[in-house]
Structures are given as structure tokens and as C-alpha cells.
Amino acid sequence: MNNTSDIKLNNPKTINGWALFDWANSSYALVISVALFPPYFLGVTDDNFNLWGIEMTDSALYAFAVSAAYFLITLASPFLSGIADFGGRKKYFLRFFTTMGALACMSLWFFTDMETLPLGTIAFILATIGFAGGLVFYNAYLPLISTEDKYDSVSAKGFTYGYIGSVILLIINLLIITFHDKIGISETLAVRSAFIMVGLWWIGFAQVSFSRLPADLPDPPGENLIKKGFEELKKVWRALKQQTFTKRFLFSFFFYNAGVQTILFLAATFAEKELKFSTSDLIILILVLQLVAIVGAQVFSKLSEWKGNKLSIATMLVIWMFVCIAAFLIQDKLQFYVLAVVLGSVMGGIQSLSRSTYSKLIPENTPDTTSYFSFYDVLDKTSTMIGTFGFGLVQLMGGMRHAVLALSVFFLAGLLILSKVKIERS
């Protein structure tokens, strides 16, 4: 019978296979969630319609679809965390979520108009669940395939593979969409073909990862994994009651992460709806964001080394508030491109520094760091759900620009709470 001691740590073939999963599934996060599906969704649906007796806009429904996906993921997180921490079937569930997500992504091909709106909305929700659910098990493999001194470099390799793979596929789709007439297809057909390409890319490259990752182990006999997952979250919450600064940071993270994730999900929707960006414009915009984000993450990492995590995050939160106010005021594409450069400068840094700051606030020599990060992951998903749902509600009442402006409240709340946090460990 296999056990964890049979796994050869720091095996380059295994590590490369693990990192290639990021190459596979990041295509969905960038090409579908951020670049192509939001404008496509708005293009094939009516601006205003009646849904179950409620007057709805297409952009509000898209925001609600994102929040619905993350609501379901939040409900499932304790169960998934229990399996990832204590169960032996990581590969089984990684394969399940990957297959579900990729097939749901490809089924978006059949979403073409208002008649197929239910299909498109449900497929998008399932694909998003497949993407986020798979990450729980993907991350859980890290301590199984490498020693602790290699965590940072192995994790960075996954990020690098994911960035390169998703950008390559995005550029391929940009070329197909830009030169669709020379290929002999419509622009709409070119965008729909991207749904198939991403699904095949996702599930295809994932097969290499499945073939190289360690085999599953039997689940511990008699373990109730759902109960175990909830117990771990409760245990961390009880511990946090005694850790004032860690708890305050998590409250701060909860608020500002709601704003961050909502903007990342809905920036393309805003650009298409308010500034009439074409699909090609949006892809170029996303590529600019990605390139600037890499540089920005490095800059704020250096600032953190020089002046500390707290000042670095606080500086970024002020910039995020500026982005919300500026988005409310801008009127043309050039202004939005300039704003995108500013947004890109804080897009990568805020996520990487949040995680590293939390790591510093976890008590030293804590044996159950996985449980702490399971709790962090639940907060991440819950704040995403609340941010996108709130955006949709404000948009229905006051329009998209007012919804973006309202997001600045999340960043202000996060900044005020962060000011009460003391980070003692360097």
C-alpha cells in the first residue's frame, strides 16, 4: 500500500507535472473569467430584462452569477478542506473538479442568446466552481512533493507556468478574433471557439499532471471528512480569539479583498459597458494588466522589505481607492488604459503580500498551518461572494459607475482596520 513516505520529495519530474496544472487551469481564470466571457455575456444578452419578476440588467446578472459560484464554493470549502487535509483522494477530486470545469467551459459554446441564458449562466457557475474547487487539492499537493525549504521556489514555478500558459493562449485567441475575417468566420464564432480551446487546453494539459502526481491513499478509516473540515475551521477561530493582530488583519483582508476580487472579475464588464471596448481592445487591456502586475508585485515586494508589509499594503489600498474614484470619473478609452496601468501595479502585489503577511502573523512553530490557510481561503471566497453580490445590487439601484465608486468603501474599511495591526515578526 502506498503511503506518504513512498513519495520522493523534490523530484523534478513530479514538480514540473504539478506546476503544469497551473499552466492548464490558469487559462480559464485569464482567458474566460477576465478577458472573453464578460463582454461575450453582455453582447448576447439584452441590456434589461425581467427575471422571475425582477427587473434585471445583464451586467448585474453577471455579477450575481460570480457571487453564486463563490457562495456554493464557500459552502463546500470545509468539506473540501477536510478531504485535502485528511483524506487520501486528492487526485480523484482534482480530476473531478478539472473535468467538471473544463466540460462546463466547453458547453459555453451553446450559449448564444437570451433563450440559452440559463444554460450559459449555469455553465459559467459550474466552470468557476471547477476552477476554484480544484485549487484546494492542487495547493494541498505542495507539502507532499517538496521539502519546506523548496516551498517558495516550487510555488513560484507554478505561478510562472500559469502566467506563461494563460498569456500564450490569450494571444492565440487575440489573433483568431482579430483576423477572424481572413480565417472565414465571424467574430462571435471566433470568441465561442475560445471556450472550446480553453476547455481542451485545461483538461488536456492536466492529464500530464495527473500522470505525474503521487497516487491517492485510502481515506483514514472512520473519519467524517465534512465534520473534520468544520472542526478545523472552528479550532482556528478559537485560536484567533487570543491572537488580536492576526484577527484584525483577517478582518482587514476580508474587506479589501472583497473590493479587489470584485474589480478583477468585473473590470472587463465595466470597460465594455461604459467605454464600449471591443473584444480585441479588452484582450490587449488584459495583457497590459498582466505585464504591469509582474513589475508591480516586485516593486511592492521591495517596498515591503524596506519599510515592512503594513506600509506596503496600506500604500496599495490607497491606490485601490484612487482606482475606484478615477473609474467613476473617466470618460474615454485612453484614460482607462492609463488607469489599467495603475491597477496592474497593485493587482499582483496585494494578493502575494496579503498571503505572506498572514504567514508572518501565524504563531511560530504552529503545526497546523494548513488549517490556518483553510480558514484564510474561506474568508477569501466569502469576501468575493459579498463583493460581487453587493456590486450587482448597487448597480441595479444606481448604475455601474456608482457601483465601482461604492467599492472604495471596502478599501477604506480595510485600511482603517489595518492601521490597528502590529506585525511583530520580520
Return the pLDDT at 2: 45
Q: Do the domains at 12-216 and 224-426 have one common CATH topology?
A: yes
| Average per-residue pLDDT for the chain | 86
Task: Summarize the confidence of residues 64-78 as an average pLDDT.
Answer: 87
b/e code 305-343 from CB counts within 10 Å (16+ = b): eeeebbebbbbbbebbbbbbebbbebeeeeebbebbebb
Q: Is the pLDDT of residue 40 over 50?
A: yes
Q: Left, alpha or beta for 87 (phi > 0: left; psi -120 to 50: alpha)?
A: beta
Q: Which residue has the cell 439601484?
A: 397
* pLDDT tens digits, 202-232: 999 999 999 999 888 765 655 666 677 677 6
* pLDDT tens digits, 135-169: 888 877 877 788 867 776 777 688 778 888 998 99
Q: Which residue has the cell 465601482?
A: 404
Task: Summarize the confidence of residues 351-375 as an average pLDDT.
Answer: 71
All three cell numbers of 83: 478531504
The reported pTM is 0.81
Is CATH 3.40.50.300 what the domain over 12-216 is classified as, yes or no?
no
Q: Where are the alpha helices (DSSP H) in 179-308?
A: 180-183, 187-212, 225-240, 244-275, 279-307
Q: Is the pLDDT of residue 3 over 70?
A: no
Select from 417, 423, 396 the least CA-distant residue to 59.
396
For residue 302, what are the contacts with CB-CB under 8 A and spacing of at least 6? none
What's the CATH class of domain 224-426? mainly alpha
Return the pLDDT at 85: 65
Return the pLDDT at 426: 42
Return the pLDDT at 12: 92
pLDDT cut 90: percent of the chain above it: 44
Task: Summarize the confidence of residues 350-373 as an average pLDDT.
Answer: 71
Q: How far apart are CA 60 and CA 275, in angstroms?
A: 17
Return the pLDDT at 284: 86
Select from 132, 102, 342, 78 the least CA-distant residue to 201.
102
Per domain, the residue ranges of the chain are 12-216, 224-426
* pLDDT tens digits, 83-113: 766 667 788 889 999 999 999 999 999 999 9
Amino acid found at 256 = Y
Q: Which phi and psi (to 5°) does residue 50 adopt? A: -105, 125
Q: Which residue has the cell 472583497?
A: 258
